[in-house]
Amino acid sequence: MVVYPLFKVFQYSFQEYSSQHSFVFVGLQQYQRLFSDELFWVSIKNTFLFTIGTIVLDLVISWGIALLLNARWPNLKVRNFFRGALLFPFLFSAPAAALLWGILYQPLGFLNCIIEQIFGTTINFLGDPKYALFSVLWVNVWKNFPLIMILILGGLQSIPVSLYEAARIDGANRVQLFWHITLPQMYSLMITIIIIDFVTTFIHFDLVWTMTKGGPLYSTYLISFFLYQKGMHAFKFGYASAIGVIIAVIISVCIGTYIFLYSKRVRI
């Protein structure tokens, strides 16, 4: 079920769909065309920027909120309320989140009203190439961070309290507790989260496509858009298969790195 589709995509990447409605072997021509296609490299650059930016913001925001929600609060009901309320963005589907933030990003939208009051100008969030990629990146982070936050919070709550108590007796401060106890205990979970976030973000399609369709001026054009347009619009199945193989190779390298890092950590 998994190997056969991958094998067929790999096979088609060395073939060309002819006018006789059959596949003809063309060797490495698809890959030569792909690596000489400027739009391919634009999509790769945008995809890595989008992916790395999403992962970094996901981790920073999720870690910060998870640490706050894991701390002692004077009122447990208030803390539990925020634990539930912060899951709200995750309930949105990608098109719904795109529609919501598309309204907020409008020139006369809520965000620009605030910006104009403070700075006397407005920002074309989705129409200016300087801001478009970060604008859609932020929507993706807003939608997905609650899941990562909950995973981190669960990991924090699984750390034995006795470790912190023993370290405090030895005179450790909060920074030392976090660096020498929290992070090592969360290592395996963090590697897993980063890999999952990388894979799901690298092949991301629906939210960004709904908001910008890759524009303006290809500033939000991702590798998944490139694959979709070559395969489903231009019907260049061999070329699209070559793109799919490159995506699979990148993801495989990522997973291989995870396995190497995790196995090395376990041996230590």
What share of the chain has pLDDT > 90, as a percent? 66
Please provide the DSSP assignment of 74-125 as one string. S-HHHHHHHHHHTTGGGGS-HHHHHHHHHHHTSTTSHHHHHHHHHHS----T
Q: Which pLDDT belongs to residue 25?
A: 87
51 part of a folded domain: yes
What pLDDT does 263 receive?
73
Identify the pLDDT of residue 257: 81
pLDDT digits (tens, 9 = 90+) for 156-209: 999 999 999 999 998 889 889 999 999 989 988 998 899 899 999 999 999 999
pLDDT reported for residue 154: 93
Contact 144, 94 (CB under 8 A): no
Q: 136 lies in a domain?
A: yes
- Residue 18 belongs to some domain of the structure: no
Residue 231 domain boundaries: 37-235
Q: Is residue 13 part of a domain?
A: no
Residue 260 lies in a domain: no
pLDDT of the residue at 69: 92
Structurally, the chain folds into a number of domains equal to: 1
Candidates 138, 133, 131; CA nearest to 58 is: 138
* 186 domain residue, yes or no: yes
In a domain, 77, yes or no: yes
CATH number at residue 183: 1.10.3720.10
Could you tell me the pTM of the whole model? 0.93
The parts of the chain modelled with pLDDT lower than 70 are 1, 19-21, 264-268
Distances (CA, A) of 181 to 24, 70, 148, 248: 59, 15, 20, 36
Task: Tell me if 268 is assigned to some domain.
Answer: no
What's the pLDDT at 266?
58
